């Protein structure tokens, strides 16, 4: 990873977590769609990042979010679950020739179809786990699924918008 890629990754991380803690924390669409932009910071980590490092970053991100939300590990648990499943989803989406060293998790690098197949299931799993843990009962299972679905769509749109704000299409990435 070159310095330009590292800077963009740090910028993604800071923007997505800052957006979550300062703006999206108090924002919901119709009480059903909540934005958890901080999950994008975990999912947009480079593909070559070690799984243990991703899980540690996910735990730290969820823990910090829990501190701001006054929750007891709900976000940390959901983030670690996503970090645990991330390598499996990446492996399922790996093309026949594998990934090039310069490829990163982004629409410009991987294409919209790949990006959708990668992000949407992991975002949905995160949101579903978050709402199920929050409700602590399966009596509200369908409410949790509905909120997870709408929150996944909302979060996906925000993460894509932030990605296009941070990503510079003028320069090529390392190796290109």
For 51-89, what is each residue's pLDDT tens digit?
898 899 899 888 988 888 888 889 999 999 999 999 999
Is the pLDDT reported for residue 166 higher than 50?
Answer: yes
Is the pLDDT reported for residue 174 higher than 50?
Answer: no
The predicted pLDDT at position 25 comes to 67
Q: What is the mean pLDDT of residues 149-156?
A: 93
Is the pLDDT reported for residue 93 higher than 70?
Answer: yes
CB 148 within 8 A of CB 127: yes
d(CA 157, CA 161): 6
CB 23 within 8 A of CB 142: no
Q: E-assigned strands of the chain?
A: 28-29, 33-34
For 118-151, what is each residue's pLDDT tens digit?
999 999 999 999 999 988 888 888 989 999 999 9
What's 75's DSSP letter?
Answer: H
So where are the chain's domains? 3-166
């Amino acid at each position: 990873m070159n310095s330009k890629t590292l800077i963009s990754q740090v910028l993604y991380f800071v923007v997505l977590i800052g957006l979550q803690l300062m703006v999206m924390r108090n924002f919901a669409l119709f009480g059903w769609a909540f934005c958890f932009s901080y999950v994008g910071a975990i999912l947009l980590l480079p593909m070559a990042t070690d799984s243990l490092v991703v899980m540690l970053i996910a735990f730290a991100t969820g823990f910090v979010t829990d501190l701001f939300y006054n929750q007891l590990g709900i976000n940390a648990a959901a983030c670690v679950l996503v970090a645990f499943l991330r390598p499996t989803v990446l492996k399922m989406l790996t093309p026949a020739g594998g990934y090039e060293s310069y490829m990163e998790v982004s629409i410009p690098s991987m294409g919209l179809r790949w990006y959708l197949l990668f992000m949407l299931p992991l975002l949905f799993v995160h949101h579903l786990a978050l709402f199920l843990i929050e409700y602590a009962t399966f009596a509200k299972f369908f409410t949790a699924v509905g909120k997870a679905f709408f929150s996944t769509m909302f979060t996906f749109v925000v993460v894509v918008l932030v990605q296009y704000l941070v990503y510079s299409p003028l320069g090529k990435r390392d190796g290109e």
